[in-house]
Amino acid sequence: MKAPFLTIAIALVFGAPAQAERLIATLSTSRVLISSNFTGTDVVLFGSVERDAQTVARRGGYDIVITVTGPRDDVLTFRKERLFGIWVNADSRTFIKAPSYLTVLSNRTITDIADINTLRRTQTGLARILLPQEISGDIADSIRDDPFRQAFLRLKVENHLFRETQNGVTFLTPALFRAAIPIPDNAPTGNYDIDVKLFADGTLLARQQTALEIVKVGFEQFVASAARDYGLLYGLGTALMALLTGWFASVVFRRD
């Protein structure tokens, strides 16, 4: 906890507002397009730590943690229990506005970057994100070792939607870094928030936000929006397609 005081002290002494590091981040693309041949992709983030003459030297070097959060949604997690000899969904928890996608990339083990309190306060790392739960009408953050929370995180990791990569950020020079944000094939469409955090000597120095959009395009977009907005017409169209296919087959394969 020394470093922030030091920074503030230096700021007070020199009176200059721009002595701390600034973060600059840019993406290889801000729109990921899902077309019929989409099988997942990587979005590359480039970033740079800006310093000026007054910036103090950091002995331990810089650490970067990038958190990418997909569209939020209420999510039900069911637990199966044995009932009359068969396994049924019995107990359930609703996670309120849980991210559908979450990737945490860092240049080294997150717990080495800062102490656990700083990490918790800044919600850094997969294990420390806020996952509010609705319990009998009240909304409260779930405790870390709650089995539903653990199961939710585990299943999301298995589905490639959540991940934590401890060597996902590479420093090209002491101030320039790059990271590849993996977008799996099952990534939901919508807006993705990207939060880049700069740490040095266990302290959060700067943050930079940017965003990414995943959209369906062309045929995929047409079908999805037709199904959602014109359900009845879409259904009639699909039914007609089925009848035409059936009729066509009976004509093609006619034997008499």
Partner 1 sequence: MQIYLPIAELPVNILLVLVMGLAVGFISGMFGIGGGFLMTPLLIFIGINPAVAVASVASHVAASSFSGAINYWRRRALDPSLALMLLAGGLIGTTAGVWLFTLLRKLGQLDLTISLSYLILLCTVGGMMMVESVRAILRARGGRPAEIRRPGSHMWIHGLPLKMRFKVSKIYVSVIPIWVIGFIIGFIGAIMGIGGGFLLVPALIYLVRVPTGVVIGTSMVLTLVTMTYATVIHAATNHLVDALLALILMVGGVIGAQFGARTGQRFSGEQLRLLLGILVMMVGLRFAFDLVVHPAELFTVRSVEAQQ
* By CB under 8 A, residue 237 contacts partner 1: yes
Q: Which of 6, 135, 172, 241 binds partner 1 (CB under 8 A)?
A: 241
Nearer to partner 1 (CB atom), residue 1 or residue 251: 251
Q: Which residue has the tokens 């981040």?
A: 25
* By CB under 8 A, residue 120 contacts partner 1: no
User: Alpha-carbon torsion 124, 125, 130, 135, what sign?
Assistant: negative
Which stretch, 18-26, 116-124, 171-179, 239-247, contacts partner 1 (CB under 8 A)?
A: 239-247
* By CB under 8 A, residue 33 contacts partner 1: no
Q: Which of 6, 16, 88, 215 binds partner 1 (CB under 8 A)?
A: 88
* By CB under 8 A, residue 116 contacts partner 1: no
Size of the site for partner 1 (CB under 8 A): 59
Q: Which of 20, 23, 32, 34 binds partner 1 (CB under 8 A)?
A: 34
* By CB under 8 A, residue 29 contacts partner 1: no
Structure tokens that stand for 233 in this block: 């017409």
Residue 192 has phi, psi (to 5 degrees) of -115, 125
Closest CA to 202 of 55, 52, 62: 62
Q: Which of 7, 48, 94, 118 binds partner 1 (CB under 8 A)?
A: 94
Q: Determine how β-strand 176-183 pairs with β-strand 169-173.
A: antiparallel
198-227 positions binding partner 1, by CB under 8 A: 216, 219-221, 223-224, 227
Nearer to partner 1 (CB atom), residue 27 or residue 151: 151
Q: Which of 53, 59, 173, 256 binds partner 1 (CB under 8 A)?
A: 256
* By CB under 8 A, residue 67 contacts partner 1: no
Question: E-assigned strands of the chain?
Answer: 22-27, 31-34, 41-50, 62-69, 72-83, 86-99, 102-106, 132-135, 138-141, 162-165, 169-173, 176-183, 190-200, 203-216
DSSP state of 117: H
* By CB under 8 A, residue 117 contacts partner 1: no
Q: How far is the CB of 246 from partner 1 (least distance, A)?
A: 3
Q: What string of H, E and C letters represents the secondary structure of 189-254? A: CEEEEEEEEEEECCEEEEEEEEEEEEEECHHHHHHHHHHHHCHHHHHHHHHHHHHHHHHHHHHHCC
* By CB under 8 A, residue 192 contacts partner 1: no
Structure tokens that stand for 59 in this block: 């002995």
Binding-site ranges for partner 1 (CB under 8 A): 34-39, 73-81, 85-89, 92, 94, 100, 148, 151-152, 154-156, 185-186, 188, 216, 219-221, 223-224, 227-228, 231-232, 234-239, 241-243, 245-250, 253, 256
